[in-house]
Structure 1
Amino acid sequence: MDSRGAQKISTGTTIMAVEFDGGVVVGSDSRVSAGESVVNRFFNKLERLHDRIYCALSGSAADAQAIADTVQYQLELHSLNMDKTPLVLAAATLVRNISYKYKEELSAHLMVAGWDPKQGGQVYGTMGGMLTRQPFAIGGSGSTFIYGYVDSAYKPGMSREECRQFTKNAIALAMSRDGSSGGVIYLVTVTEAGVKEEVILGNELPQFYDK
């Protein structure tokens, strides 16, 4: 909430994740708002759940962070007890279960993506208690502006760099249309080799319209 406790701080946002052969690209904008006010321009909405598993946060910032923290803790315990790396599906299932169990108390939508030795790169949506694997997924308030773009621009079998550019273009387009999305773009690329985190600044963003 803000200092008066009147408005809930939410990640009115654009989040996205894309699979490619060997990994995933996850991205988000960085703006956090409370009502019509921007309260944080540079909030990283990509949360690490385990070594090669990330989630993208949307909805109430506090609620989404609470879910991510709980899943992160449970995955760490699971990894220690089983002495092996948790699966991306296990992380997504935990997110789905918590989100559904507390659907009346929490206002958050988390997208889970990552890499594991069993199924490689994976992207899961967890909206409304459902768990669906998708080649790519978008979410947040900005996603409503880019469904046409992503449906036309996505092509099966895209390379790592093509998926990175696809994600960057889609989020930049949403930021140009959605008043609740903005700031910079955070990108995370996850493969067997490791994790690469990037910040795409304003002067590096794709430009879709003449100023």
Structure 2
Amino acid sequence: MDAASSLMGGPSSADAPTDGEHRMGTTIVGVCYAGGVVLAADSRTSTGMYVANRASDKISQLTDNVYVCRSGSAADTQVISDYVRYFLHQHTIQLGQPATVKVASNLVRLLAYQNKSMLQAGMIVGGWDKYEGGQIYSVPLGGTILRQPFAIGGSGSSYLYGLMDHEWKEGMTQEEAEKFVVKVVSLAIARDGASGGVVRTVTINEEGVKRSFHPGDKLPLWHEEMEPQNSLLDILAAGSSDAMASIKYSKLAKWHLHARKHAKR
């Protein structure tokens, strides 16, 4: 325990639980819109229970028009993206034109599948090319590949399936898609302890690539869109005839009334 920590009565940095490899307990999202794709990710990287990096960049460039979102082991996903970037560079030199999104995605799939017993890597590849426009490919653990209109991954994705199914719509504008992915990752950060930090987004379309940064204190609060409602106990405490008349006597409401009567005796 160092001097400062001793004076404060707390553990030193050496006592932090850092056992284990760097992992991105992550939230990654990819969404197609009318004209391109938007990728988004949080920025928390952890080692065991210790937050090793609060502002890591989990969206890596593969080519000028193709990017990949990384989740799982940080080392594994960095190696895959580095190898794919190298192969695609050679591909571009040999053929004289940039690789398509499908080619890049299948290279990611090939490396993940052939080394599936040694890797912990779930990735989302997104980009735009002149042949098929904006495309999103999901490459989860094990190395399968699936083209989807939207994809989510990482530990925070467990909280997002219902929201994505309910609010994603085909043909969104670029502005709608960018706001949507920020909202989605913000919800995961609020619910998932392994996701956090800032939200980074990458928009890819025919005009090029745009990167955006959304600091943690500027993220939308997921509960701000909910209409405020009085709880049952608030209505019961008010005791007015109008408030009581508004109660729909469900089993729960009757139970509360019964409990109050017995409490007065």
The answer to whether the superposition gives a TM-score over 0.5 is: yes
1:41-97 C-alpha deviation (Å, 9 max, x unpaired) = 000000000001000000000100000000000000000000001000000000000
Q: Give the secondary structure class of the aligned counterpart of 1:73.
A: helix
Native 8 Å contact 2:18 2:47 kept in 1: no
Deviates more, 1:77-86 or 1:128-137: 128-137
Q: Distance in 1 between matches of 2:176 and 2:40?
A: 14
Q: Tell me which residue corresponds to 1:87.
A: 100
Tell me which residue corresponds to 2:43: 30
Which of 136, 147, 162 aligns to 2:176? It is: 162
Paired residues for 1:45-60 under 5 Å = 45-60=58-73
**Structure-2 separation of matches of 1:184 and 1:89:** 29
In structure 1, what is the Cα distance between the partners aligned to 2:47 and 2:25?
A: 9
**Contact kept in structure 1, 2:19 and 2:47, CA below 8 Å:** no
User: Structure with the greater relative contact order (CA < 8 A, sep ≥ 6): 1 or 2?
Assistant: 1
Report the equivalent of 2:235.
none
1:5 is displaced (CA, Å) by 8.2
Q: Confirm or deny that 1:39 pairs with 2:39.
A: no
Contact 2:59 2:70 in 1 (8 A): yes
2:146 corresponding residue in structure 1 = 132
222, 236, 242: which one pairs with 1:208? 222
Confirm or deny that 1:16 pairs with 2:25: no
Structure 2 counterparts to residues 56-205 of structure 1, below 5 A:
56-127=69-140, 128-205=142-219
Counterpart-to-counterpart distance in 2, 1:129 and 1:38? 28
Partners of 1:43 and 1:5 in 2: CA distance: 17
Q: Classify the secondary structure of the residue corresponding to 1:13.
A: coil
Distance 1:5 1:100 in 2: 29
Q: Percent identity?
A: 44
RMSD over aligned Cα atoms: 1.6
Q: Which amino acid aligns with 1:138?
A: I
Distance in 2 between the 1:208 and 1:21 partners?
Answer: 25
For residue 222 of structure 2, what is the amino acid of its counterpart?
Answer: F
Number of paired residues? Answer: 209
> What is the alpha-carbon distance in structure 2 between the residues aligned to residue 177 and residue 6 of structure 1?
24
Q: Which residue identity is paired with 2:159?
A: F
Bigger drift between 154-163 and 2-11 goes to 2-11
Amino acid at match of 2:196: G
Higher strand share: 1
TM-score, reference length from structure 1:
0.95
> 1:36, CA displacement in angstroms?
1.4
Cα offset, 1:4, TM superposition: 9.6
Q: Give the distance between the partners of 2:143 and 2:18, measured in 1 at CA.
A: 29
* 1:204 to partner: Cα distance: 1.8
Letter in structure 2 aligned against 1:107: Q
Instruction: Determine helix, strand or coil for the equivalent of 2:56.
Output: coil
Provide the C-alpha distance between the structure 2 equivalents of 1:176 and 1:5, rounded to a whole number of angstroms: 23
TM-score (norm 2): 0.76
1: CA distance, partners of 2:62 / 2:100: 11
* Higher alpha-carbon Rg: 2
8 Å Cα contact 2:76-2:120 kept in structure 1: yes
Task: Write the letter of the residue equivalent to 2:41.
Answer: S
Deviation above 2 Å: which 4+ runs of structure 1?
2-6
> Unpaired runs of 5+ in structure 1?
none
